[in-house]
Amino acid sequence: MMQRILLCAFIWMAAIWPAAGHAQDMFWSTTLPAITGTDTLGLHLRSLREQQNGSRQSAQPAPSATAFRYTPSPRRRTANLAQFVARSRQNDPKGAADLERLFALTDVVEAMRAPLAEAGLRIDDVADAYAVYWINAWQASRGVDDDVSRRMATAVRNQVAGVMASTGALRGASDAAKQEMAESLLIQAALIADAIKQSQGNPTLGRQLAAAVSQGARGMNLDLAAMTLTEDGFVSAN
């Protein structure tokens, strides 16, 4: 239920966002930036996909969650959201102003806690946040809005956690660094989910969204076209 969960968490966005045409422009600009520090993870995720050689993989036990979780700080969250707005302002000043107003009205990250829990995921876990982004980005790249089962969400989360654990991607990372990465991923995932909803019934808009999200993922060394999402996680599309 991932896609619908995120849409439910952000359903109130429509009430304060700009007119449809401008909102669509903002979607593209806010989903494009790569997440600092995740390129290495993206490379290893792509290697994992290649190693699978197109076979369905059984869900693997999750590594210990200790290395991926952090204690959220409200002050750091405020700073992280301000940084997200600042990056967005470089491409879309009006859209960034709308995001800033949205962030001032409510704690958008905290609003995701209960909905994501229904899928077995947490907002204070970097692997979970990456899984949410990865699933939503892949669905946007394929123009689909399918429900995501708890099993599927867990499988993708375990893939991410396995790579992080094996590569030491977060070794020595502070709570602040983990929180910045996770919250940026969650915000982008939610914007993608809402953009998918906005593009329904509009093939041209759907293609623009797919291209923008795919470009953003390539900035993280994720080739979304080369993978397929299954109940047991991502496998090669070949």
Looking at the 3D structure of the chain, how many domains does it have?
1
Structural tokens at position 102: 């949205």
pLDDT single digits (tens) 26-56: 443 443 333 333 444 455 455 555 554 444 4
Q: What is the mean pLDDT of residues 81-106?
A: 85
What pTM value is reported for the model?
0.79
Check whether 231 has a pLDDT greater than 90.
Answer: yes
Q: Which of 78, 103, 111, 122 is nearest to 17 (CA)?
A: 103
In which domain, by residue range, is 142 found? 2-236
CA 209-188-107 angle, to 5 degrees, is 135
Check whether 23 has a pLDDT greater than 50.
Answer: no
The answer for residues whose C-beta is within 8 angstroms of residue 100's C-beta and 6 or more apart is: 82, 85
Q: Residue 1 half-sphere exposure, CB side, CA atoms within 13 Å?
A: 12
**Which pLDDT band, with edges at 50, 70 and 90, does 24 fall under?**
very low
Max Cα–Cα distance, the chain, nearest Å: 47
Check whether 25 has a pLDDT greater than 60.
Answer: no
**Do the bridges between strand 227-230 and strand 233-236 make them parallel or antiparallel, or are there none, so unpaired?**
antiparallel
Structural tokens at position 59: 């869900």
